[in-house]
Amino acid sequence: MNNLIVYCEIEDGIIADVSLELLTKGRSLANQLNCKLEALVIGSNLDGVEKQVFPYGVDTVYTVDDPRLYPYTSIPHTSVLVHLFKEQKPQVCLMGATSIGRDLGPRVSSSLHSGLTADCTALEIGPHEDKKNNKTYENLLYQIRPAFGGNIVATIVNPECRPQMATVREGVMKKEIYDPNYKGEVVKLDPKKYVADTDFVVEVIDRQMEKSKANIKGASIIVAGGYGMGSKENFDMLFDLAATLGAEVGASRAAVDAGFVEHDRQIGQTGVTVRPKLYIACGISGQIQHIAGMQDSSIIISINSDPNAPINSIADYVITGTVEDVVPKLIKYYKKNSK
């Protein structure tokens, strides 16, 4: 009762990274709240799926296994969550701010009349004082999120309604094994009790999913290009630099929109969030939406022809110059100086 539950997305039998990241976060929140961490997996052929989540410190995994539950559609998954939450009364529910989580979360929150906070970048536990009604609350979930196009950060609480629901984008939280030998309990729920035949109204007739090609999220060095790269051809320079340094290539949205590079390399509020050891920003001005996705990088180098580019204010090294000039020199001197 009153546990913390994470809705786990599954694609081709594999639990999504964003869900594992949330289990890691959920484990530490559950420790603070002194409650259990639960996972919910809905899909088809789920035997053994618990092995993927137990190492993250899951105490109970609920599975609902039915061929009709994969691929995801809104209403059947909503029905499972609504029924289960009415029974189990979790205090917190977390899900990925993905095209699934952002489709499912609001529908569930509407049905249960429980608040939902979108795209949180931090989750904390703390008290809340409602001055107007002279009430205090202990151990609420602080749901911290950017809004207003990234220009403000708001802390949102749900004092009265349960569960407190929040979505979080992929890459925002860190994924970390809690204990490789952790063992929880598996509870198989009977689909018939949680989903009605009439819930299956939307039919998926075609699906073409690609595995994410670039792995910028896991890269320890990122070479990112912006609109200032000027062309797709100039981006080749960045791929050269990346190959030299063992890095991945990232990009700003302006560079993606201009067609210099594929969308899955976009870094920022509407792309992925990264925190590499080294981030080299090439011809990126540093608008807030971009910064939001890379400001936690350990070391930031900015290469920009404009000495006053906003990104320079968060950079450890500012190189004032053109990318055409500087990038080849980086390659040259790295080759010369690395043994």
Ligand X SMILES: Cc1cc2nc3c(=O)[nH]c(=O)nc-3n(C[C@H](O)[C@H](O)[C@H](O)COP(=O)(O)OP(=O)(O)OC[C@H]3O[C@@H](n4cnc5c(N)ncnc54)[C@H](O)[C@@H]3O)c2cc1C
Q: Binding-site residues for FAD, please?
A: 252-253, 266-270, 283-290, 304
Can you tell me the distance from the alpha carbon of 152 to that of 199, in angstroms, rounded to the nearest whole number?
A: 39
Identify which of 19, 23, 22 has the alpha carbon closest to the alpha carbon of residue 8.
19
DSSP state of 228: G
| Other Cβ atoms within 10 Å of 99 Cβ, number | 10
Pair 278, 216: CB distance under 8 Å:
no
Q: Among 1-9, 64-72, 190-198, 285-293, which window interacts with ligand X (CB under 6 A)?
A: 285-293
CA distances from 65 to 12, 49, 55, 70, 80 (A): 14, 11, 21, 9, 11
Task: Compare residues 70 and 142 and give the one whose CB is closer to ligand X.
Answer: 142
Q: In the window 99-158, what residues touch another protein (CB under 8 A)? A: 99, 102-107, 109-111, 113-119, 128, 130, 142-143, 146-158
CA–CA distance, 11 with 245 (Å, rounded to integer)? 32
230 lines the binding site for another protein (CB under 8 A): no
Please identify, among the stretches 10-18, 128-136, 198-206, 263-271, the one whose residues bind ligand X according to the rule CB under 6 A.
Answer: 263-271
Stretch that binds ligand X, among 129-137, 242-250, 317-325, 329-337 (CB under 6 A): 317-325
Q: State yes or no: residue 116 binds ligand X (CB under 6 A).
A: yes
Closest to ligand X by CB, 140 or 156: 156
Check: CB of residue 96 under 8 Å from CB of residue 120: no
If phi over 0 gives left and psi between -120 and 50 gives alpha, with beta otherwise, what is residue 93? beta
Considering the rule CB under 8 A, would residue 231 count as an interface residue with another protein?
no
The site for ligand X, by CB under 6 A, has a size of 40
By CB under 6 A, is residue 287 in contact with ligand X? yes
Give the residues lining the site for ligand X (CB under 6 A).
115-118, 145, 147-149, 152, 154, 156, 226-228, 230, 252-255, 266-271, 283-285, 287, 289-290, 293, 303-306, 309, 322-324
